[in-house]
Amino acid sequence: RLERLPAAGERKGAEAAPALIPVRFREQGEEAGVDFVLHNHPTPQKRLPETMAGGLAVFDADGDGLPDIFFTNGDANRFYRNLGGFRFEDETEKAGLAGEGFSIGAAAADYDNDGDVDLFVAGVNRNLLYRNRGDGTFDEVSAAAGIASGRWAVGGAWLDYDNDGRLDLFVANYLDWDPATAPVCEDSAAKVRTYCHPKFFGPLASVLYRNRGDGTFEDVSEASGIARSRGKAMSAAVADIDLDGDLDIFTPNDAVPNLLFVNQGNGRFREEALAAGVALRDDGRAVSAMGASFGDLDGDGLPDLLFTALPGETFPYFHNEGEGLFLDRTDASGIAALSRAYGGWGAALADFNNDGRLDVMTANAHVMDNAEVFSDEVYEQPNALWLNRGGGGWEDASEASGLGARTGAHRGLAVADLDQDGRLDAVVTVLGGRPELWRNVTSEAGCAVRLRLRGGRSNRDGIGARVTIDGRSWQVISTAGYASSVHGPLHVGLGACDVPRRAEIVWPSGVRSQVEIAPFPEALAVEEP
């Protein structure tokens, strides 16, 4: 049986953690050639979508091994091809990804198992599905595929919920918003317009589309049990929380209880957020949950959960206790103190110094662009980085790493090795500004390996596979915090470079395999036996 973490900061019985490797970032968006400006079209009426834009997807669109970047936008979306050497070029028109409408989120994956990465774009009362032609250009196939929608979606998640070898699509719907009937709100004391609280809008059920395998999808929201629960989803996070071989879905909700759809393994889900302990904070409060991520933060093999929220609410951290149960350790872990002043959007659990432990990065800003007028809170905020010390301890490296040097109206966050140097970089979107591209220049980083899984019986991307190295586990997913997605090799920090290791893989099909690993300059391709 797993031992419950003690209330104090350090984990009981934990070995002394090695010296913490400092992390350094350098912002290089402008010199990288990414000149995109995120247009959210602010109006005097303070229409709610204005403050919600900013999701992105990082994926290899043309199969050259380099991760490209897609940005959603209130105008035409933008796509940047990776030229190598931390340089990018705008190829939106060539790729056919400009789109239309007001886009919010993106999710990338190979849904048709043809070896090319496709793209779903979520938006305000309109969603788009792009099928990759195989050369890095795309066809918009939403209507033909059967996923057209008139609801407001914030993001999506690709997962093979029934383990039939084909990726299905979960769409996280936000709330019932109509520009013709939406109220206009204001702060009663300051007499200034504000973005309306979500309580003024009705909740929506999210949607699950089953992949038929012929390029079309079937809406199975009712049959699967997803439609039985309504919320105000700000994103979707996917993981096999109970290690039963089926992927589960968590939706952080805006000012109402969160939802956790636990996969029953028979094509149906059961909503168990309250029973699992993740619907509310431990004091019974629902927070304005934003971007959520799963990851094994303490090395016990189970995916823990962290999500962002508004200033003063702190960023809830739920430790996975096993058997589908979670314990709120936001205060005991020190995360509450670290996050209290921030309003958070994107959230990433990733190993930025390759020491084998997942760190926490968040993209921060207030939801109200005039927050200073009627409160003591600040709109434009710096991003945050908390390094995992091991044993339950955290170190605030926001300033020392350079990440905290810039303030902005940050929204989406995606983490990937953009320059293929073995260190994870970060892309952060900014309302009304160009994105920040944070290049990881950590000189003392440990070694890492990148595993590119290729399914046979399982879906080609290997989404849902579990990889274990030295007792620590990683799960292959493509969702990334608020309205964003990262598709590509699984990045695993190894720490020491001269220790031989073996990776054990449990594929979504249930097949198990092993592979000898060592640090490689290129991703190691691993095929399902």
pLDDT at 521 (0 to 100): 67
pLDDT at 19 (0 to 100): 80
pLDDT at 326 over 90: yes
pLDDT at 499 (0 to 100): 78
The pair of structure tokens assigned to 50 is: 């204005």
- Residues 404-462 have pLDDT tens digits of 999 999 999 999 999 999 999 999 999 999 999 999 999 999 999 999 999 999 999 99
- Residue-averaged pLDDT of the chain: 95
pTM as predicted: 0.95
Q: Which residues contact 337 (CB under 8 A, 6 or more apart)?
A: none
Kindly indicate the confidence band of residue 507, based on its pLDDT and cuts at 50, 70 and 90.
very high
Kindly indicate the confidence band of residue 26, based on its pLDDT and cuts at 50, 70 and 90.
very high
CA distance linking residue 223 with residue 252, whole number of Å: 22
What is the DSSP secondary structure assignment for residue 102, as one 8-state letter?
-
- Give the homologous superfamily in CATH for domain 25-527: YVTN repeat-like/Quinoprotein amine dehydrogenase (2.130.10.10)
The pair of structure tokens assigned to 322 is: 């096993």
What average pLDDT does this structure show over 219-238? 99
Percent residues over pLDDT 70 in the chain = 96
pLDDT at 498 over 70: yes
- Residues 373-402 have pLDDT tens digits of 999 999 999 999 999 999 989 999 999 999
CA distance linking residue 236 with residue 233, whole number of Å: 7
Identify each DSSP E strand in 286-406 by its residue range. Answer: 292-295, 304-307, 317-322, 325-328, 344-350, 359-364, 381-382, 384-390, 393-396
Between 3 and 430, the higher pLDDT residue: 430
Phi, psi of 286 (to 5 degrees): -90, 135
pLDDT at 11 over 80: no
